[in-house]
Amino acid sequence: MTRRCDEIGAHMSIAGGLHHALERGRELGCGAVQIFLKNQRQWAAKPLGADEIRMFHAARRRTGIRRLFAHSSYLINLASPDPSAWAQAVTAFTDELERAEALGLSCVVIHPGSHMGAGLEPGVDRVTAALDETLARTSGCRVKVALENTAGGGNSVGRTFGELAALIDRAARPERIGVCVDTCHLFAAGYDLRTEKGYREAMAECAATVGHRRVLAFHLNDAKAPLGSGLDRHEHIGRGSLGLTPFRLLLNDRRFARVPKVLETPKEPEPAADLRNLAVLRRLRRRLGR
Ligand SMILES: [Zn+2]
């Protein structure tokens, strides 16, 4: 087994059962794992069984992986201007938060959504209303929502730290909302992280709007497309437009030392691609085992 860095890991498949994601994570030496809560391409899923929940908790103890969180289904659009699509999204997201709570996960990452041409302001209103409704329906839960910054293509809401902060500021329960920062999406949205200056400026903007303490997770992905492309195309660490500098800076940024950081890079060939990307990240970390 490779040497563990407690907060570094990867998105892991739940094929065969939720607990398999943890076993796969342990084989790679992950200290953090992100999962989907169900098949992310389908709306319906049978409720979590008591056995599934028990096996997940047992796998968590067995593997020692402490930082666990989920990514929501891509079907869910909390910004939808269509009332029935919006209602379906709220119901589905509520279900995901309840599943995550049962599994003891820290947060569920979600892309704020697409306003589908209705405009940014109406889109922000729809997301805020959806978050308020979802968090009211799960008021007894501890699990948080992590709004992920987007690559900025199409009609997406949440391209900048300012847009994410606006969503949190307007919410009725801001204490249950944070953000997930995706390095590829930042770059695609126009944040030039390739230099130390660019990285510092981006994180200063994060601090001034969202606030560092609201960063609940990072997605560590290099980018296939150039700066400001608006394209959500993930590349292996160090092999894309970003290079290694932003990852070295982020992994050694003490403000984020305890924040889980997971890969969402291409999986093929499996598991060699994940092993290589994780090894690159661990090498960039100066102080192992903090
Ligand atoms: Zn991501």
**Cα–Cα distance measured from residue 28 to residue 227, given in angstroms and rounded to the nearest whole number:** 31
Q: Six-digit token pair at 107?
A: 């947060």
CA 264 to centroid of ligand 1, rounded, Å: 6
pLDDT per residue as tens digits for the range 45-78: 899 999 999 999 999 999 999 999 999 999 999 9
Q: Tokens 């796969």 identify what position? A: 24
pLDDT at residue 288, rounded to an integer: 47
Give yes or no: 236 in active site. Answer: no
pLDDT at residue 40, rounded to an integer: 83
> What is the average pLDDT value for the chain, to the nearest integer?
95
SS3 23: helix
> Cβ distance 60 to 36 under 8 Å?
no
Given the residues 67, 71, 115, 126, select the one marked as catalytic: 71
CA 148 to centroid of ligand 1, rounded, Å: 7
pLDDT per residue as tens digits for the range 137-178: 999 999 999 999 999 988 999 999 999 999 999 999 999 999
**Cα–Cα distance measured from residue 4 to residue 112, given in angstroms and rounded to the nearest whole number:** 32
In this prediction the pTM is 0.96
Can you tell me the mean pLDDT for 94-99?
A: 98
CA 261 to centroid of ligand 1, rounded, Å: 11
pLDDT per residue as tens digits for the range 173-182: 999 999 999 9
What percentage of the chain reaches a pLDDT higher than 70?
97
Give yes or no: 148 in active site. Answer: yes
Give yes or no: 201 in active site. Answer: no
Given the residues 67, 111, 115, 176, select the one marked as catalytic: 111
Give yes or no: 74 in active site. Answer: yes
pLDDT at residue 287, rounded to an integer: 56
**Cα–Cα distance measured from residue 164 to residue 147, given in angstroms and rounded to the nearest whole number:** 7
pLDDT at residue 57, rounded to an integer: 98
Give yes or no: 20 in active site. Answer: no
Can you tell me the mean pLDDT for 251-275?
A: 96
Give yes or no: 219 in active site. Answer: yes
Give yes or no: 191 in active site. Answer: no
Under CATH, what is the fold of the domain 8-284?
TIM Barrel (3.20.20)
Q: Is the dihedral of CA 91, 97, 102, 108 positive or negative?
A: positive
Q: Six-digit token pair at 20?
A: 């398999």
Domain boundaries, the chain: 8-284
Given the residues 74, 200, 212, 270, select the one marked as catalytic: 74
pLDDT at residue 1, rounded to an integer: 42
pLDDT per residue as tens digits for the range 38-50: 988 889 889 999 9
CA 129 to centroid of ligand 1, rounded, Å: 23
Other beta carbons within 10 Å of 196:
12
Can you tell me the mean pLDDT for 201-227?
A: 98
